[in-house]
Structures are given as structure tokens and as C-alpha cells.
Amino acid sequence: MEYRDIASKMNVEEQIRANPAIIKENSTERGLAEYFGVSRTTVRKALNDLAMENFVFQTEKSLECHQVFEINMLKMSSFSEEVKKGDNAQIKIKVLSNQIIKMPAELRTFFGSNQQLIRIIRQRLLGVSESPLSYEITYLSSEKFKGLEKVDLNNVSLYQFLKDNYYFIPSHGREEIAYEAATEDKATYLQVTEGTPIYKVSSYSFDLNFQPFEHTVQYLIGNRFRYHLSAKNIFDYREKIK
């Protein structure tokens, strides 16, 4: 990219930061290109950079400002509870698959065995429009949760269901968060453009006896969520693992 192109892109970014309403008034790449007097390529690169900063959200047809959800790390509450608190968000859970599978080689060390697992693939949908909020794959011990693969888990909080039906309460866990560009399959499930920044959140959960019981990989639209770790979270976690 030549210097003048870089300067044009930076100018677009600075103006959008200073006045986010520009996005609402010019809701397409073409409209923004005409507004700034630059090419659509320059607009697209500026928006991609802003998206990496969680500043704007880009879809194939338009550009929108979205509500941002805050998630506490190390807090052993369900994802739906974290999203709903203080937001009154309408969350729907759609189960795409729920079946018993062979133990994937990469999970043998975590589960400490070669037992079969229950794999649950779900989407979380937001609001009346049911726009995708997350795409996730959960692995659970088939021995601890016998028959779970036969249960209709649509619109069901998994942690609450385990508590109510298996008398099971999670104790603690760890999370690994990465930032990546959406591949074709993830983009399809999240209804975003391929290459859109997304979070990949890998969680490993343990019961009160320090035994592993769940591994989940969540894919979240990058600028829809903000993760934070407070001092209280750290204290609560330390108390749990004493």
C-alpha cells in the first residue's frame, strides 16, 4: 500500500473514531467511500482495522453499531447468565447436534481416558431477529452424564440442566482466548463475512473432586464481547481451588 493510501485509510479511521454516527448515516461501503472521497478498498481496510479494535461491526451488506457484552473469566456461571445479566437480552439456544463420539486424540490428556464423549454443537441467537451470538462445541463425559445425548437441549442452560438432573455442580476451570479471522464454516454459523475477527474461547472445566468433566470451544464475533478478569474473580478462584 502506498503512502497516500495509508494516509487516506488513517484519515477514515480517525474520522469514524471522532464521530461514530458516520457509520449509521452511511451504512454501506459504497456510501462511506463516497462520503470520504476514497476507494471502497480503502474503506474496507479502515473498517477491518477498526473491527480489530472492537470499534465497529461489519456485515456483508451494511455496517452497524452493536451492543457489547461483558464476560467475567473464571466465573463458573453459564454463558447465557453472563450475557443476560444487566442487559435483559433475549437469548435462544439452538442445538445443531447432540451425539456420542469417540474420544478425539487431542482431548485424551485432558479427560485422562479414552472413554466416549457426548458432543453438543449449539448456536446462541439474540433477540427477535435471532442474529447469531455464538457457535460452540461442547464435549462431556458420557459416563458421568448417561442419556444426555437423548435429551432435547434447545433453549436449555446446560449447566442448570446438569445441576437439576445430574445433581452436578462445576467447581473451577480455565479459559484460553485467541483472536482469529472467521473461516468459511465459522462465518456461515455466525452470519458474518469470511475473515471477520472472532474470538475462539477454549474452556476446560473441573468438578469438586478436581476431575475434568467438560471442554468447550466457543466462537464469538470479536466486537460483540469484552472479556475481563477482576481481582474478585481471582480471589474467588483461589478460594475454590484451596
Give the range among 7-11, 37-41, 82-86, 88-92 with minimum mean pLDDT: 82-86
Cβ 197 vs Cβ 223: under 8 Å: yes
Three-state DSSP at 2 gives coil
- pLDDT, tens only, 141-182: 999 999 999 999 999 999 899 999 998 888 888 888 888 888
C-alpha triplet 185, 225, 133: angle, nearest 5°: 45
pLDDT of residue 119: 98
232 or 214: whose pLDDT is higher?
214
What pTM, to 2 d.p., does this model score?
0.62
CATH number assigned to the domain covering 3-64: 1.10.10.10
Domain parsing of the chain, residue ranges: 3-64, 69-241
Instruction: Give the count of beta carbons closer than 10 Å to the beta carbon of residue 213.
Output: 22
pLDDT of residue 55: 61
C-alpha triplet 226, 228, 232: angle, nearest 5°: 150
Q: Give the class (CATH, top level) of 69-241.
A: alpha beta
Query: What percent of the chain stands above pLDDT 70?
Result: 72
pLDDT of residue 169: 83
Residues 6+ apart with CB under 8 A from 239: none
216 or 67: whose pLDDT is higher?
216
Residue in the block written with cell 478425539 = 104
What is the DSSP annotation of 15-67?
Answer: HHHH-THHHHHS-SHHHHHHHHTS-HHHHHHHHHHHHHTTS-EE-SS-EE---
Confidence band for 43, pLDDT divided at 50, 70 and 90: confident
Provide the residue count of the chain: 242
Q: Which grid cell is 201?
A: 474461547
